[in-house]
Amino acid sequence: MAKQITVLGSLNLDIHIPLAHMPAQGETMSLSQASSHAAGGKGANQAVAAQRLGAQVHFIGATGADDAGKMLRDKCQREGIDTSAISVLAEQNTGQAFIVLEPDGHNTIMVEGGANRQVSVAAIEAVAAQIRQSDILIAQLETNFEPIIAAFKIARAAGVVTILNPAPANNSVPAELLQLTDVIAPNETEALRLTGLPVDTTADFAAIAAVFAAKGVKNTLITLGARGVYYNVAGRTGVVAAHNVVHPTDTTAAGDTFIGAMAAQLQPDMSNIEAAIEFANVASSLTVQRAGAMDSIPLKAEVAAVLA
């Protein structure tokens, strides 16, 4: 039976803006390539990654009653994701992300939360049974803290593993939320912002994990880009090397692919953490070689072929 994963998170219309270089203040630029739009949002990307890479995913979120919202809900349904807990809010617009993409594959993202910021505690309580039946619950920070805390409380009481991807990074995450988190998974920028500590050496990584542990989070993953992934999980620690990508095309969904892929493979006791990270690293390496966010996420067979 496939692992049951619930994702609480965002659904955004991604608007990609390709630039030859970042403009200076006051500069007007003509685009050398046309802008485009696609399905995205950190929650939706992670849900699609988990679904494509072996799990059965249930999504909790919200869209507007507009064309963008319908497109996102339809996309998730086509992927096989359970969308019954995605609210449609007539008075809100669907979230949007404006993604500025540079020639080297790096991106700068500006997000308008829209309906994502209206996910309510009542909506969480309405699907409490589904959360309790899950193996893993994943959340990010593109919704408000209150529904995440409510969902994590339900999960913790039921013995469901909670994974928090603290992105985009806020200067602080409520202490109550951290105490309900089993695994925190920031990237290096988010780790720096949340702890104030450097993210350069193995000793730095261990110090960051110690800060999170002191706040109640027993397990830490830090994604380090080309340097791989540091883990301090279930009493084991180390760095799993990244898969080399010579010419990245678009890094937009790399982190989301990692989270979804890792969760799809992770055992509830986290005993296979190294293998789950290795699998997720391969998935991310395939993602960055393709354009777009959600559409760049690979299938399980593609990852398996690389590992083989």
Token representation of residue 19: 């630039």
pLDDT at res. 107? 77
Query: Hey, which CATH number is domain 4-23+33-307, 3.40.1190.20, 3.20.20.120, 3.30.300.30, 1.10.520.10?
Result: 3.40.1190.20
Phi-psi group of 228: left, alpha or beta (phi > 0 → left; psi -120 to 50 → alpha; rest → beta) = left
pLDDT at res. 155? 98
How sure is the predictor about 291, in pLDDT bands with cuts at 50, 70 and 90? confident
Place of tokens 């979120």: 61
256 belongs to the catalytic site: yes
Cα 193 from Cα 186, distance rounded (Å): 10
CA-to-CA dists, residue 211 to 92, 149, 178, angstroms? 38, 20, 11
Task: Report the share of the chain in percent with pLDDT over 90.
Answer: 75
pLDDT at res. 179? 98
pLDDT at res. 123? 96
For residue 229, which amino acid is it?
V
Q: Is 255 annotated in some ligand binding site?
A: yes
Cα 72 from Cα 182, distance rounded (Å): 29
How sure is the predictor about 293, in pLDDT bands with cuts at 50, 70 and 90? confident
Query: What angle in degrees, to the nearest 10, is found between the helix axes of 254-265 and 42-52?
Result: 40
pLDDT at res. 246? 65
Q: Is the pLDDT of residue 56 over 80?
A: yes
Token representation of residue 200: 């350069």
Q: For the residues of 164-204, what is the DSSP string, one character each?
A: E---SPPS---HHHHHT-SEE--BHHHHHHHH----SSHHH
* Sheet containing strand 56-64, strands side by side: 82-89, 56-64, 4-8, 136-139, 161-164, 183-184, 219-223, 229-233, 236-240
pLDDT at res. 172? 87
Q: Looking at per-residue confidence, does 105 or 206 come out higher?
A: 206
The answer to whether the CB of 22 falls within 8 A of the CB of 100 is: yes
On average, the pLDDT of the chain sits at 93
Q: What is the pLDDT of residues 265-290, one digit of tens each?
A: 999 899 999 999 999 999 999 988 88
pLDDT at res. 165? 98
Q: Is 190 annotated in some ligand binding site?
A: no
Q: Is 225 annotated in some ligand binding site?
A: yes
pLDDT at res. 50? 98
3-state secondary structure 119-131: CCHHHHHHCHHHH
List of long-range contacts for 89-93, beta carbons under 8 Å, 24+ apart: 89/62, 89/63, 89/64, 89/65, 89/115, 89/118, 90/64, 90/65, 92/62, 92/64, 92/118, 93/64, 93/66, 93/68
Q: Is 114 annotated in some ligand binding site?
A: no
pLDDT at res. 35? 82
Q: What mean pLDDT is predicted for residues 91-103?
A: 89
The catalytic position among 204, 256, 269, 295 is: 256
Residue ranges per structural domain of the chain: 4-23+33-307
Q: What is the pLDDT of residues 178-229, one digit of tens each?
A: 999 999 999 999 999 999 999 999 999 999 999 999 999 999 999 998 899 9
The answer to whether the CB of 79 falls within 8 A of the CB of 52 is: yes
| pTM assigned to the model | 0.93
Q: Is 226 annotated in some ligand binding site?
A: yes
Q: Is 43 annotated in some ligand binding site?
A: yes
Q: Is 156 annotated in some ligand binding site?
A: no
Lowest mean pLDDT among 39-48, 55-64, 283-292: 283-292
Instruction: For residue 198, give every residue at least 6 positions away whose Cβ sits within 8 Å of its Cβ, in sequence order, or none.
Output: 192, 204
pLDDT at res. 14? 87
pLDDT at res. 251? 72
Place of tokens 């849900």: 47
Q: Is 286 annotated in some ligand binding site?
A: no
Q: What mean pLDDT is predicted for residues 232-244?
A: 93
User: DSSP 3-state assignment of 135?
Assistant: coil
Token representation of residue 166: 């603290």
Q: What is the pLDDT of residues 138-185, one digit of tens each?
A: 999 999 999 999 999 999 999 999 999 999 887 789 999 999 999 999
Q: Is 251 annotated in some ligand binding site?
A: no
* Beta-strand runs (E) in the chain: 4-8, 12-18, 36-40, 56-64, 82-89, 95-101, 107-112, 136-139, 161-164, 183-184, 219-223, 229-233, 236-240
